[in-house]
Structure 1
């Protein structure tokens, strides 16, 4: 059901996938490829959109591990479910809220505090533990993503970003401990990862994560890997559901004939 719901979200995304204009070569450069020892810049100036306070990323972390999600606050494709599912997984860890922080950073410098605040309010609703929602200027975004090996591309035609759909687990001192898929987070595993990050442990990082938050690939006329995978699973689930319904109807009919 969750996969079907995600597929529906993609289908209803504003503007539609067909407006995407990035070439294949541009999409191939989009990935999360952190260098050994990758670390977020703790002195990076950021603005907390909920409080309006300008501070430093290090102060936001406060020496505690955090799940960092680079997002596009005006994206209606994968960013919304990424945020929602990450929040659900963190809640299921059973950890104290101070030990399971979710930090969002906008990758679009055009998104101001009001835009980000409105979007997160719509996604999060009245659930407790609202994420720390940050915005930064263009130079700050470039520095943060560059230090973490997070590569994305801007599609001017559709005013959207092709970017890795990834959650970055940071230690309290800003080191990149693990790269996780926010669409497949499990509360138990996330609890263990957060505990390890809290102890300063750094896991094995993937060389390249290319799961994209980007809809329709106009260069090849096919869906990007994430969309294709979700639509494939959703299609299989639909076929199985139809087959199950047919079997039930056949059994009901046979019982009626026997009676």
Structure 2
């Protein structure tokens, strides 16, 4: 019996170690949460009005950061549609209670493209509150610094990029307080992210744990169910049940 328990514990440790180590892995493409960390506020960007600005100048209220590139054939437009949709559904006022800053992670993108992209989404979603949704471009060095600071990892493939889909809540002092994943967002999640950012409260994301069951498909630029991970989690569950049963049953017999 003792040998069985030792073997079960060893298998349990190996399996859980393999699965939960994936939380701390540094993916080539994906998001590594840097909750509570301050973003570099003195990086220079060019806004959609062709003005050179820093994040320190811009971030004076709760801010939602989104990273896209303007010629993206995949996730970027749906992400911005999702942001626009939740702006429209949230009872907080864009430009007053919070702001959205969209940063291009393609150094080839220009302020002209930023202006064009902004017009499309502001006209459609934000009821003319253009000053509350800012589009920025910058050089490759600044792109690396801001994406590295926020844990947003992309991979260049020719002139395109493989990249994750997420938005990031930042406090008025520039600290990261929440990550929201996907291309659509629940108004309550969006609102709570803004409220928590205003209070400087960093919250872990349950979606990060749920993503353990998914792998990022670089070809389709989507998250797909990972059968191997799911099987591993199931094995862990049954091993845990096995260990508990064999540890508890002998104690009950001895009492009798």
TM-score (norm 1): 0.66
Q: How does 1:1-259 map to 2 (within 5 A)?
A: 29-35=28-34, 37-49=36-48, 51-62=49-60, 64-97=61-94, 98-127=96-125, 128=127, 129-130=129-130, 131-156=133-158, 159-205=159-205, 206=208, 217=219, 223-226=220-223
SS at match of 1:140: helix
Q: Distance in 2 between matches of 1:118 and 1:212?
A: 33
Match for residue 4 of structure 2? none
Query: How many Å apart are 1:189 and its aligned residue?
Result: 2.3
Which structure ranks higher in relative contact order (CA pairs < 8 Å, sequence separation ≥ 6)?
1
* Structure whose alpha-carbon radius of gyration is higher: 2
Contact 1:65 1:194 in 2 (8 A): yes
Q: Residue 134 of structure 1: SS of its match in structure 2?
A: strand
Number of residue pairs the alignment of both structures matches: 192
Write the distance in 2 (CA, Å) between the matches of 1:183 and 1:192: 17
- Relative to structure 1, is the Cα distance of residues 100 and 163 closer, same or farther in structure 2, using a 3 angstrom cutoff? same
Q: What is the rounded CA distance, in whole Å, between the counterparts of 2:189 and 2:166 in structure 1?
A: 16
How well do the aligned residues superpose, as a CA RMSD in angstroms? 2.7
Structure 1 residue 73, shift from structure 2 partner: 1.0
Distance 1:188 1:89 in 2: 9
Q: Aligned partners of 1:212, 1:82: CA distance in 2, in Å?
A: 19
Alpha-carbon deviation of 1:118? 1.7
Whether contact under 8 Å (1:103, 1:132) holds in the other structure is yes
Residue 171 of structure 1 and its aligned partner are, at CA, apart by 0.8
Contact 2:27-2:153 at 8 Å conserved across structures: no
Relative distance call for 1:107 and 1:31 in structure 2 (3 A) is same
Could you tell me which runs of 5 or more consecutive residues in structure 2 were left unpaired when the two chains were aligned: 1-25, 226-256
> Counterparts of 1:152 and 1:43 in 2: how far apart (Å)?
22
CA distance in 2, matches of 1:30, 1:125: 32
**Residues 82-125 of structure 1, C-alpha deviations (whole Å, 9 max, x = no match):** 11211221232211221131110000000010122223323443
Instruction: Give me the whole-angstrom Cα distance separating, in 2, the residues matched to 1:212 and 1:178.
Output: 21
CA deviations over 1:10-31 (Å, ceiling 9, x no partner): xxxxxxxxxxxxxxxxx95111
Tell me how far apart the structure 2 counterparts of residues 145 and 209 of structure 1 sit (CA, whole Å).
20
TM-score by length of 2: 0.67
Q: SS at the partner of 1:169?
A: strand
